[in-house]
Amino acid sequence: MRRSRKQFRRGFTLLELVLVLLLLCICVATAAPSLRGFWHGSRIKDAGDQIMAITRWSRTQAIWNDLPAQSRCQRRQLLADHAKR
């Protein structure tokens, strides 16, 4: 009993795989420059969210402890200070 050639074909040929990978690389290469701006904008938004969070936390602690609060930025870090009476 002999099977025809079509019955044995189950996967993709090497040429088909290479062409698909080539198309994916071209798509990624064209999209990469626009994604660079997205990541930069996302990092700036995260930094702003962190500043707002520490400011809110400092305000809450100041109200809770009935003390004046001060938030200040130093090199690569944000500090919240509470004055003592």
For residue range 6-39, list pLDDT tens digits in order. 666 678 899 999 999 999 999 888 887 777 777 6
| CB-CB contact of 70 with 80 (8 Å) | yes
The dihedral through the CA atoms of 44, 47, 53, 55 has a sign that is: negative
State pTM to two decimals.
Answer: 0.44
15 in a domain, yes or no? no
Q: Is residue 62 situated within a structural domain?
A: yes
Distance CA 80, CA 50 (A): 12
- Please state, for a pLDDT cut of 70, what percent of the chain lies above it: 72
pLDDT value at position 67? 81
Give the domain extent around 57: 48-74
Report yes or no on 52 lying in a domain.
Answer: yes
Counting the structural domains of the chain, the total is 1
| 31 vs 22: CA distance, rounded Å | 14
User: What is the average per-residue pLDDT within 67-74?
Assistant: 73
**Which two tokens mark 61?**
């602690």
Q: Is the pLDDT of residue 53 over 90?
A: no
User: Within a domain: residue 26?
Assistant: no
**Residue 40 domain flag:** no
Residue 64 belongs to a domain: yes
